[in-house]
Structure 1
């Protein structure tokens, strides 16, 4: 007689959404739940694809329509389905001192980072960059009590630094409601896990940033960690970038200068809140190699893994204690409680 228990069965499905490969993995506890698990993944796929359409800053969905109204100087209605993201994005922006900035869509578009098909091979002019930075600085603050925003010409909202954290957690909520509380959703560097992988925790790897010519299908790991009911979010400069005169221009922009950030290759945040893991991680990346520990302490993010451009690797005390480090990888441990105050520009 075949057992109804499935101690090693995993149900996986990958699909393209939000410009990246999304992988959903479930660990059903009984064999007869496998079909229901596949049906639940289909529901997740539909939800994420619909969200990807409506949450894309430049498409025909809700956010794209909102941004086009701003572009012509109109006061735009905030899409109700996206209101929670507007609220949280602005809250994190304020808490980070503007290191995370959701009103950056025009700059992202100028640099060509909104679409790999139009990625530039030379930087924009200083005048083009400055025009958009100044427009963003002149734009009104967001008012969470209002259902409109603007006018804010030459300014647009982009949730590329928070939306995946939001929708991945939503997807896991949907799966839990369907009876599958043991699951992971990986949306291109945004991984969240719930429950367990049968009799063990989910194991998530932190990979080495890719160099030019590396095989993207066979990345090497720096470390891994067991996770349970957490998000593991990585920002890096190796996925969307161009080279010009020997310098790498990655897609993570400093909203104050309007140019790609230098100093870090990747930065990973582990947190129970997927939106804070993603948006907070973006803010830390912008803060840079010297100032990210101070900002992390301010934001209440105590688990960080940072790879510097010079190859140096750091991890906070709270995360270092959990890591399974690969042979030959050396990590400097950062104690946020003892880190001296560094001015965050």
Structure 2
């Protein structure tokens, strides 16, 4: 029997999340009038703390057994990816090297760069006051994160790992029940302000004592990019990847487009979805929302999307959905727009060259950019105000 209210809340959210993921998968794989279900091969597995549902549509010459083998290989790749990018050891476990690592961990020093093989080991080097070298396979995402941090004026910032831990959002089974003190938040913000920015070269980082890196706001989107890329290289150009409601699709399902659903941030019996969207070509659809990880205190919701400038949960929006060619870019951008809030998301979208955005504020108002609004099919009873991204006045 679960005595802890945090554990009960965790499992309720897990069940809800898995249920929604299954629903979104059903939506994408819904039978057509001329059903082609025998051409779709699907595999589900846990990775990166969520349920991945991956489906491929077979060409006439392809056979299910080969596709199943390709999906099994992809599962192993994504589980290795999780080991590489997980920011902290799981509760009660010790750190283990990645399956594909070709270097050993060296003792952290304040001098020459050490040689970690994953993000957890990079964080341990930083905690010891050392300079951490970035493994070559991780450098492209480090560089992408540095670029997106600059373009978002720091609204997306992977250096907030210590703040994430301070708020208790690093472990869903041990959420806080009260916010941390203002003094603790201020102290961490001071450390962050004095730390070096993520380097654009992505070869090494540090020394940055007190800083912990957390790529949670970009890695899941990057994982969907990796999955689509690997499936294409394996001969499956028509595929859809659903990572707990964050999606990336390519090609088509036979004669029709892949169709995905955008979750309502406050679902009820009538509205589980805000809208549906038919994918055009190769697109990622990533949503950041205040409903994924949160606790409530004195009637206020404290969620996991932290503003790096204030050290507290961003306010004013309930969800932000970004449609883009890259899952990594859409993932980071949805966080940056969420942090920018009701008065700044349009300018932030403009700065990031985004033209397909859907936003819901905490009053329930739905807004969409023109390029996306014309493609969305909203649920009955839901309408959106069209808002054009633009520079600050």
Normalised to the residue count of structure 1, the TM-score between the two structures is 0.92
- Which of 248-257 and 188-197 deviates more? 188-197
Match of 1:136 among 192, 198, 205: 192
Mapped to 2, the partners of 1:291 and 1:104 lie a distance apart of: 21
Q: CA deviation at 1:307?
A: 0.7
What is the alpha-carbon distance in structure 2 between the residues aligned to residue 145 and residue 204 of structure 1? 36
2:87 paired residue among 23, 41, 57: 57
1:199 is aligned to 255
Between the aligned partners of 2:376 and 2:62, the Cα distance in structure 1 is: 35
Q: Which residue of 2 aligns with 1:229?
A: 282
- Out of 132, 149, 153, the position equivalent to 1:97 is 153
SS at match of 2:256: coil
Q: Which residue of 1 aligns with 2:167?
A: 111
Structure 2 residue matching 1:289: 3-state secondary structure: coil
1:43-96 deviation per Cα after TM superposition (whole angstroms, max 9, x unaligned): 111011111011011132510010011012111111222111110001000011
- 1:261 aligns with 314
- Size of the aligned set, in residue pairs, is 331
What is aligned with 2:9? none
Q: Is residue 276 from structure 1 mapped to residue 329 from structure 2 by the alignment? A: yes
8 Å Cα contact 1:63-1:79 kept in structure 2: no
Which residue number corresponds to residue 38 of structure 1? Answer: 68
CA distance in 1, matches of 2:242, 2:313: 25
Tell me the distance in 2 between the aligned counterparts of 1:43 and 1:52. Answer: 14
CA separation of 1:118/1:181 partners in 2, compared to 1, >3 Å: closer, same or farther? same
Give 1:189 shift: 2.9
Q: 1:101-131 CA deviation, whole Å, 9 max, x = no partner? A: 1111111111111111111111011111111
CA contact (8 A) 1:265 1:308 kept: yes
Residue number among 383, 386, 390 corresponding to 1:330 in the alignment: 383
Q: Which residue of the partner structure matches residue 392 of structure 2?
A: 341
Distance in 2 between residues matched to 1:312 and 1:145, nearest whole Å: 41
Structure 1 residue 312 and structure 2 residue 365: aligned?
yes
Unaligned runs of 5+ in 1: 1-5
What TM-score, normalized to structure 2? 0.81
Structure 2: stretches of 5+ with no match in the other structure: 1-34, 90-94, 98-117
CA RMSD of superposed structures (Å): 1.7
Aligned to 1:11: 41
Counterparts in 2 of 1:96 and 1:208: CA distance versus 1, 3 Å: same
Instruction: Give SS of 1:47's match.
Output: helix
Q: Is 1:171 equivalent to 2:223 in the alignment?
A: no
CA distance in 2, matches of 1:329, 1:246: 27
Structure 1 residue 325: deviation in Å?
1.1
Superposed displacement of residue 309, structure 1: 0.3
Q: CA offset at residue 141 of structure 1? A: 2.1
- Give the corresponding residue for 1:286: 339
- Following the alignment from structure 1 to structure 2, what is the Cα–Cα distance between the partners of residues 255 and 172? 31
Preserved contact between residue 351 and residue 391 of structure 2 (Cα < 8 Å): no
Q: In structure 2, how many angstroms separate the alpha carbons of the residues matched to 1:138 and 1:189?
A: 36
